[in-house]
Amino acid sequence: GQNIDQPTEMTATEGAIVQINCTYQTSGFNGLFWYQQHAGEAPTFLSYNVLDGLEEKGRFSSFLSRSKGYSYLLLKELQMKDSASYLCAVRAPGQAGTALIFGKGTTLSVSS
């Protein structure tokens, strides 16, 4: 079966750094994605990892270890607008087209 785990909720303060972890157990692996979703809105793409290591994109970075079935999303210099749900998703072989399997998401609350 497919299983993706991430914490339900996290809190942080403006200007801080937060790391959101994701572990997965899937029958195969073709890439891991992070999406950001503000309440009532559609998810928007943040990052993609298919090889081990760190991918940096501005204030956001994502790390992958395929041998450990583990990824994290690192958010630096937090801003109030970063308050949102962060979704970890995995594409596993055998899934339709480019369909992704999503975790339940981590709700991040940033306070001043």
Indicate the residue among 33 and 72 with the shorter CB distance to another protein. Answer: 33
Indicate the residue among 4 and 84 with the shorter CB distance to another protein. Answer: 4
User: Exposure pattern of 3-29 as b/e (b: 16+ CB <10 Å)?
Assistant: ebebeeebebeeeeebebebbbebeee
Q: Given candidates 7, 10, 29, 31, which one binds another protein under the rule CB under 8 A?
A: 31
- By CB under 8 A, residue 80 contacts another protein: no
- Secondary structure of 23-91 as H, E, C letters: EEECCCCCCEEEEEECCCCCCEEEEEECCCEEEEECCEEEEEECCCCEEEEEECCCCHHHCEEEEEEEC
What minimum distance in Å lies between the beta carbon of 19 and another protein?
Answer: 20
- By CB under 8 A, residue 70 contacts another protein: no
What minimum distance in Å lies between the beta carbon of 4 and another protein?
Answer: 8
- By CB under 8 A, residue 48 contacts another protein: yes
Residues lying near another protein in the complex (CB under 8 A)? 4, 31, 33, 40-45, 48, 50, 87, 89, 91, 96-105
